[in-house]
Amino acid sequence: MVTIDAERFRDSFETYSAIGATEQGGLHRLALTDADRKARDRFVADLREIGLDVRIDAIGNVFARRDGTNADAAPVLIGSHLDTQPRGGRFDGQLGVLAALETLRTLEEEDIETERPIEIVDWTNEEGSRFQHAMLGSAVFVGELGLETALAMTDADGTRLGDALERIGYDGEHPVRSHDHHAYLELHVEQGPKLAEHGASVGVVDGVFGIRWLEATIHGETDHAGPTPMHARHDAVATAADAVSEINALPNRLSTDAVTTVGRIRAEPDSINVVPDRAEFTIDVRSADDDVVQTAAERVAAELAAACERHRTTYELDTVWETSVTEFAPELREAVGDAAATLDVAHERVVSGAGHDAKYLSRIMPAGMVFVPSVGGTTHNEAEFTEWDDCVAGANVYANAALSLAGDV
Amino acid sequence: MVTIDAERFRDSFETYSAIGATEQGGLHRLALTDADRKARDRFVADLREIGLDVRIDAIGNVFARRDGTNADAAPVLIGSHLDTQPRGGRFDGQLGVLAALETLRTLEEEDIETERPIEIVDWTNEEGSRFQHAMLGSAVFVGELGLETALAMTDADGTRLGDALERIGYDGEHPVRSHDHHAYLELHVEQGPKLAEHGASVGVVDGVFGIRWLEATIHGETDHAGPTPMHARHDAVATAADAVSEINALPNRLSTDAVTTVGRIRAEPDSINVVPDRAEFTIDVRSADDDVVQTAAERVAAELAAACERHRTTYELDTVWETSVTEFAPELREAVGDAAATLDVAHERVVSGAGHDAKYLSRIMPAGMVFVPSVGGTTHNEAEFTEWDDCVAGANVYANAALSLAGDV
């Protein structure tokens, strides 16, 4: 068993939280901006301070390695991401990187040897806010996304990702994936309210929800908002409103964990006194059960058909992206659960509603996650908050789980 | 009794329909564009051909006067507008101007004298599409809108209305309103389906709906579309959808004529995987009864409050524009009804759901309207259609009503 230095961990958290800090106590540190560079530079300096060699790969992921006693053993990989959402919070991503850093510092300070090497990582552009591909660095790492495709992506200003990497000096020379790893373990905030509601300090993450993104388009007919009686209309927005109301009521009828979200909606011709002939909206469907996602998508289509029949309109429904349920490796879940039990930390099993780098990593190695609570479930905004005691409890569970995976010598 | 020349009327309609014609059989003749100038030039030439003096006022309204036997009598004013919606139809506005022109041609040809002078008018920018004030020329005429304010309005390209008038040579020197009128009579397409559904050729227009424009804003909280359970959300779009569904169901519970339209809707932050914290939409409420408009607006607020309570969100509701019910003058309604009865034209009383120049004119003189059917209620698009027999029947009713108002000598 190891115990992290809670004060040092806190100091690091405050130091990193000053880089890209917003006035409202959040972080605005978009991938590959000057703020991200400063955070990366601090991270590299911190890694060198504990004697580690740092390597940067071709997509800008930052790695460092602490040797094990068995040079031939595949390393355990730990870490998360330092980039944030626009005006995001201080806990999302950063906390996981700093828990991994604190793990390595603790092992160094206490001269603890492991059989396997332990490698730490900061993944590039996890948020997908600046360059529109979430978990981009890990996607390239696992081969989900081609390196050249990723480097050629542009932000809203037309800046190429490759050029942005070069500008901040993180266009690394190391190949994106040079060797195998034994396992990947990531600490992250839950981004939902359950752990906090249940009084648990740590979540042992079973996996990640399946997700399907749908786009609905309603076709009606324009008419004058005055002389056209209600019964004579083919109103695309009226159709959309009926369908969206029903779509938001679907999850409670399907399962306890399913969620549906309509985040975008627009009308055409977008005029106050014209019955609209076109409405578009998106639907994000998630569940821990792929069958529930499939059923929900079918019900979405059925609700659209019913609303269109009522309003004498028509619809199209397209799946624009989907990913099936991820189940994390049993040995990782066990390592996390055992560490929590041994440390007597209140914990419970959870399924992540959000995607994480660990989701991609699980395709090529056993992967797992430790969650800490998000008070009120608030995330992706400046009010994001986790009680510091929970951060410390989570980091201790994380450090000990990583230690057990690496083989305490 | 007079009878118009149906063939001449048809020839005019075809001639004017070629100016700004679209490939799909509509008209694209926005106010003060080259197409509008060509239509105005044709109109001025046609007026001069029957010996009338043309005058252009400072806002570009085109007038001409046919003298009566009593030079001191206030003239009867007849006409409509030649501008169209973008890719609009051939009947809206143009038909009324040509019915007025045909009325004067018929009186000339048959050497019919009237006691009162008859003046014909083409109003500037009735549609409000290019310069965002509907019925602009008549609004300036009746003093609703200041001349300088109107001249300073700009279109989407930043062109001043005054400059646009000057460019096409219709920045007239005549004062906007130099003398009183006895009455105003306008022929227009119904823009709704009722007359066609009931087999009536002519509508005797009792008045114009009261209209209120509302803007609703919903305030919620952003959340991650995955980890946030449905019950923990404060979803602005879910709130808006519930409210819009109820708002569209209101008219049938309130009266047989009320209509509500949600023509614009948008969400923020407008992201597929973020629970939206803001939704905005507009509501256009109309009825022939001001009390019904008021009740409908109150019910809109009540539905918003109920939806917000359900979703733990809040709302604002602002009235951005309103106009009360217009009742046309009894003597005009009688003149139109009598002409229809005498000519044995199938007619019925209707209330206009749309605004018209006649609505403004009724503020300063007795005003009235003759409607002809819109097949299927289709309007403001290229498919707008009225059976030609109905156009002729309407023009005959119109000519005889105008003649009775002017005093057949």
Task: Find the CATH number of the domain harbouring B92.
Answer: 3.40.630.10
Chain B residues within an 8 Å CB radius of A263 = 225, 237, 267, 269-276
pLDDT at A125: 97
Torsion of CA B99, B100, B106, B108, to 10 degrees: -160
Contact A265, B265 (CB under 8 A): yes
pLDDT in tens, chain B (409 residues): 999 999 999 999 999 999 999 999 999 999 999 999 999 999 999 999 999 999 999 999 999 999 999 999 999 999 999 999 999 999 999 999 999 999 999 999 999 999 999 999 999 999 998 998 999 999 999 999 999 999 999 998 999 999 999 999 999 999 999 999 999 999 999 999 999 999 999 999 999 999 999 999 999 999 999 999 999 999 999 999 999 999 999 999 999 899 999 999 999 999 898 999 999 999 999 999 999 999 999 999 999 999 999 999 999 999 998 999 999 999 999 999 999 999 999 999 999 999 999 999 999 999 999 999 999 998 888 999 999 999 999 999 999 999 999 997 7
pLDDT in tens, chain A (409 residues): 999 999 999 999 999 999 999 999 999 999 999 999 999 999 999 999 999 999 999 999 999 999 999 999 999 999 999 999 999 999 999 999 999 999 999 999 999 999 999 999 999 999 998 998 999 999 999 999 999 999 999 998 999 999 999 999 999 999 999 999 999 999 999 999 999 999 999 999 999 999 999 999 999 999 999 999 999 999 999 999 999 999 999 999 999 899 999 999 999 999 899 999 999 999 999 999 999 999 999 999 999 999 999 999 999 999 998 999 999 999 999 999 999 999 999 999 999 999 999 999 999 999 999 999 999 998 888 999 999 999 999 999 999 999 999 997 7
Do residues A15 and A103 share a domain? Answer: yes
Enter the ipTM: 0.88
Do residues A138 and A244 share a domain? Answer: no
pLDDT digits (tens, 9 = 90+) for B308-340: 999 999 999 999 989 999 999 999 999 999 999
Chain B residues within an 8 Å CB radius of A257 = 229
Q: Structural domain of residue B337, as residue ranges?
A: 6-208+326-406
What secondary structure does DSSP assign to B90-118, as a single string? Answer: SSTTHHHHHHHHHHHHHHHHTT--BSS-E
Residue B346 inside a domain? The answer is yes
Do residues A149 and A249 share a domain? Answer: no
CB contact under 8 A, A272 and B286: no
Say which DSSP state B384 is in.
Answer: -
Structure tokens at A353: 């509603």
How far does CA B316 lie from the centroid of its chain? Answer: 30
Residue type, B223: D
Residue A1 inside a domain? The answer is no
The whole-angstrom separation of Cα A405 and Cα A402 is 5
* Least Cα separation, residue A253 to chain B (angstroms): 12
Any CB–CB contact under 8 A between A24 and chain B?
no
Half-sphere exposure (Cβ direction) of B175: Cα atoms closer than 13 Å: 6
Q: Calculate the alpha carbon distances from B313 to A103, B217, B273, B304 in Å.
A: 42, 10, 19, 10
Residue A238 inside a domain? The answer is yes
The angle formed by the CA atoms of residues A399, A403 and A408, to the nearest 5 degrees, is: 145
Residue B146 inside a domain? The answer is yes
Structure tokens at A130: 């600046």
Residue B173 inside a domain? The answer is yes
Residue A347 inside a domain? The answer is yes
Do residues A267 and A227 share a domain? Answer: yes
Do residues A139 and A259 share a domain? Answer: no
Do residues B360 and B389 share a domain? Answer: yes
Q: Taking a contact as any Cβ pair under 8 Å apart, which residues of chain B between 359 and 378 contact chain A?
A: 374, 376-378
Handedness of CA A322, A327, A332, A335 (dihedral sign): positive
pLDDT at B256: 87
* Least Cα separation, residue A230 to chain B (angstroms): 6
Residue B1 inside a domain? The answer is no
* Least Cα separation, residue B237 to chain A (angstroms): 7
Q: How far apart are the first and last CA of chain B?
A: 12
Any CB–CB contact under 8 A between B267 and chain A?
yes
Do residues A90 and A167 share a domain? Answer: yes
Which helix H or strand E contains A46, and what residues bound it?
helix A34-49
Which helix H or strand E contains A358, and what residues bound it?
helix A357-361
Do residues B138 and B259 share a domain? Answer: no
How many independent structural domains does chain A possess?
2
CB contact under 8 A, A238 and B244: yes
Residue B221 inside a domain? The answer is yes
Do residues B200 and B284 share a domain? Answer: no
pLDDT digits (tens, 9 = 90+) for B139-157: 999 999 999 999 999 998 9
Do residues A334 and A307 share a domain? Answer: no
pTM of the model: 0.88
Q: Which of B296, B323, B350 is the C-terminal boundary of a domain?
A: B323
Q: Which of B261, B277, B323, B352 to mutate to test the interface with A (most CBs of A within 10 A)?
A: B261
Do residues B31 and B120 share a domain? Answer: yes
Residue type, A203: G
Do residues A152 and A239 share a domain? Answer: no
How far does CA A134 lie from the centroid of its chain? Answer: 8
Is residue A169 helix, strand or coil?
Answer: coil
Domain CATH number, residue B281: 3.30.70.360
CB contact under 8 A, B263 and A252: no
Q: Which of B266, B291, B323 is the C-terminal boundary of a domain?
A: B323
What secondary structure does DSSP assign to A236-254, as a single string? Answer: HHHHHHHHHHHHHHHHHHH
Q: Which of A289, A323, A357 is the C-terminal boundary of a domain?
A: A323
